[in-house]
Structure 1
């Protein structure tokens, strides 16, 4: 089997130590977590982990099965990139003089559909939301001018198909 990008969605109760145990599942299998985001979900009191891995479907299935064995985990799913809608966000801190002195910087901002978040005498900050490749491309475009700081978020994703987690939770609540 070939390696592919998979997005693993984990719905869980919000408990201390769960993230450590979940990351340990990947560590034991020598699978790198490429991206990780934890947030509230659409269900009150339930957290959602969005984990991105580059591995085989077989390994992804095994990981999801192990994650679901954690007591606090309600349900875990995995999806391919084709089955999800996803984005990342990034912030770029650049020296302010470049904004005015380098026409190329203005072109990069316009062509990348990024936004200027703040401007000060010393620096300005650009925000870019998009796919990983778009952010990587903007990074490469800005790198020759000098990036003072760079940070990117983990992937956030929703599935194209309806997720059955809400119905599943309602079923548990009525029993």
Structure 2
């Protein structure tokens, strides 16, 4: 298993993520609806909005997966945020980066992964909208276009989300 490299500008990316004030917040219906739609649209058992910080990937919304986070060192999303566009792994068993990953060899037994980087203003990917299946598969051009559109809408929603002020004490 090859952990994703840490890019030189990761501190800037992490600052963009922290500025969203979204890590470890409760579930929100607007994000839950997106993953529910994507899971159904792409017919995948697992769909996530994953945000990648320095040590983990945390799931703001999820369908089909119980844990709310996993380590960055084993995350597919840690690789996807380094890509300029959607990262597709058609069969994780056949991909040297992931073949012995515990998320492939054990629960949830990932075989297919498609991660669309969530780009914030400034160009930093703070996480992904990702599709996961337990069987190998491909995405055709139409599916890639739909996933790109969903990713762009989600990134806009994240960037424009109202920031709640902390109450005065």
TM over 0.5: no
More strand per residue: 1 or 2?
Answer: 1
- Structure number with greater Rg is 1
Q: TM-score, normalised by structure 1?
A: 0.27
Q: TM-score, normalised by structure 2?
A: 0.27
